[in-house]
Amino acid sequence: MSGWLSDFMNVPAKYIHFNSWLQISVSNLIVILIMVALFAAAILLPFPGSHSKSNSHRGDK
């Protein structure tokens, strides 16, 4: 690997410390924040074509 990506990735992980009881690497924190953002977007963003759908349903029989 070479270039800016290697400069970004081939270094020891940076850690964030919250007081003395929790530490988390920046990379793990980014992944968790991405998942939270995805979850929020999945709840809030409208699904394409959802208004034109009929109320066809099949639930637990």
Partner 1 sequence: MTTQNLESETPTPEDSKMWTARLRNAWQRNLPIDKLLPDTQPAYVASWIYVFGVLTIAAFVDILISGLILAFAGPAWYHTSSLGLFVNSLHFWGVQLFFVFMVVHLWGKFWMAAWRGRRTATWITGMVAFLASIGTAFTGYLIQTNFDAQWIAFEAKDGFNAVGIGAFFTPTNIGQIMLIHVALLPLVLGVITVMHVLLVRKHGVVPPIDALPEIEA
Q: Are 34 and 27 in contact (CB under 8 A)?
A: no
Report the residue from 5, 11, 22, 45 that binds partner 1 according to the rule CB under 8 A: 45
Q: Are 30 and 14 in contact (CB under 8 A)?
A: no
Task: Answer yes or no whether residue 54 interacts with partner 1 by CB under 8 A.
Answer: yes
Smallest separation, CB 13 to partner 1 (Å): 12
Separation CA 41–CA 38 (nearest Å): 5
Q: Are 16 and 26 in contact (CB under 8 A)?
A: yes
Task: Answer yes or no whether residue 39 interacts with partner 1 by CB under 8 A.
Answer: yes
The residue ranges that bind partner 1 (CB under 8 A) are 31, 34-35, 38-39, 41-43, 45, 47, 49-50, 53-61
